Homo-oligomer: A and B are copies of this chain.
Amino acid sequence: MLFNRIVSKGLAHYSYLVGDKFEAVVIDPRLDCEVYVERASSEGMRITHILETHRNEDYVAGSAELASRTGAQVWHADSQWDYRYGLAAKDGQKWKTGRLEIEAIHTPGHTSGSMSYLLRDPGGLPWVVFTGDVLFAGEVGRIDLMGKDKAPEMAGLLYDSIFRRLLTLGDQVLVCPAHGAGSVCGEAIAERLWTTIGLERLHNPRLLHTDLDAFVADLLKSQPERPPYFTQMEKLNLEGAKLKRLPDPKPLSPKDFANMVEDAFVLDIRRELDFGAAHVPGAQSIWKDGMASFVGWYVPYEKPILVVTETNEPSEAFRILLREGYDNIAGFLAGGMLGWHMSGLNSASIKTLTVQELCRMLDKELYKEGPDSIHILDVRSDEELRKDGQVPKAQHIHVTQIPGRMKEVPRDRTVYVFCGSGLRSMIAASFLERNGWKNLAVVLGGMAGWKSIKCTISK
């Protein structure tokens, strides 16, 4: 028997490969789907079915691609939408794979047609339920995808799906959702990689509201922003994306890269220190592990993308872009910034400072007013502000909202960008720099560092 969770890092996307004897089933595959083909094959199993828990909106599904490679049947949830390929799964429908059985459970709420899939083990006992974006560890699915106006209705459906159809499976059943901690599909997803119906029933903060109205009210209170790229993903996933092959790396000499900059979007995936020290003028910073979460907010689909890395190995970054629907990757900077500088090309920099320095500055300047007073821009989420506290006098705009709200950031003073660690700060700072801000500084260590030093500010 084969039971594999495949984690797509960054996305915190989970897909599953389940098999027995000579057959296997994949739940919610990603586009770069060779991992399923190879693992199943190395177990001597042929993938016969692909099951989707819902029409995905946060990444490109690999169902059509995987079907074309293996001959497997695709079964869609959300059959209210018009798919160009595959079949519509129905509540109660069953599939066999070797001695295992899988049964569809209609669990609307995240979308109207969301399905969960209950896996029974060779002995026939309910063992694992794949809950898609309906129920996560410590969180439930977002309810705004059918439109903000429909959110209350969807919240009600979600309540029924969870309390009447999932919790009733029994505390002992394992819960395997489509996302883990770090996903945009649920900000408060808990870190436990493995969970159960009982753990969720007892400890999921959303489910502590056992009353319908309280449950709905709690959900409506804290709704996340809708990323602009969801629309693109939804469209692709109805059409069925195909992949000729993984994108080739395409090294570009510094001169060639420089010549292409004007018509392209430069994405620098190095960390905050390197980027701060020197970057291609006009580059947008998004460090590699943050790409899955943030490219959809910052990187346009229309322009070719030029990637800057530390090394000559951009493949993982290209793969992440692919999963987010970016298929126009022009290449990467061969030799990195070292090569850039050795070719005599000019670079820009963004100042970085430690929390100790910030503390000293605040101590001196906190009570100053006017154009030369210090300005702090905190790009963390509301949730983080609530949980981890704030720095004095900081302006708060979440990192994903900077592009839409940049006008609120002053241009005439040094802006000290602040987040949890310094990584998201550099995203925001580089965006502001691209849009003409001149005096920017990123605070290294962010709130984690700040709390450690216990800065005291004299009156």
A interface residue numbers (CB < 8 A to B): 1, 3, 21-23, 37-38, 40-46, 69-70, 121-123, 125, 127-128, 170-174, 190-194, 196-199, 201-203, 244-245, 248-254, 256, 271-274, 276-278, 310, 312-313, 334-335, 337-347, 349, 352, 354-356, 421-423, 444-446, 448-453
Contacts and interface: CB of A to CB of B under 8 A. Distances in A.
Given A41-B251, A334-B22, A344 B190 contact: no
- Per assembly, the copies of the chain total 4
A334 B45 contact: yes
Contact of A191 (B43, B122, B335): B122
Highest count of chain B CB atoms <10 Å: which of A127, A271, A354:
A354
Given A196-B196, A344-B452, A444 B278 contact: yes
A347 B244 CA distance: 40
Given A313-B42, A335-B22, A123 B203 contact: yes
A453 to B, nearest CB: 4
Contact of A277 (B1, B277, B356): B277
B341 A346 contact: no
Given A123-B203, A190-B123, A352-B278, A344 B450 contact: yes
Contacts of A193: 1, 3
20 contacts: A22-B252, A22-B256, A22-B335, A40-B251, A41-B250, A42-B313, A46-B250, A46-B334, A70-B250, A127-B192, A128-B194, A170-B171, A172-B172, A271-B338, A273-B274, A278-B354, A337-B444, A343-B449, A344-B445, A345-B449
A125 B202 contact: yes
A271 B310 contact: yes
B277 A422 contact: no
B69 A202 contact: no
Nearest to A203: B125
A197 B174 contact: no
Contact of A251 (B44, B121, B337, B355): B44
A423 to B, nearest CB: 7
Nearest to A38: B249
A355 B335 contact: no
Contacts of A338: 271-272, 421-423
Contacts of A346: 354, 356
A70 B248 contact: yes
B354 A43 contact: no
B244 A342 contact: no
Nearest to A350: B277
Contacts of A202: 125, 170, 172
A202 to B, nearest CB: 6
A316 to B, nearest CB: 13
A370 to B, nearest CB: 29
A347 B444 contact: yes
Contact of A421 (B196, B197, B313, B341): B341
B201 A172 contact: yes
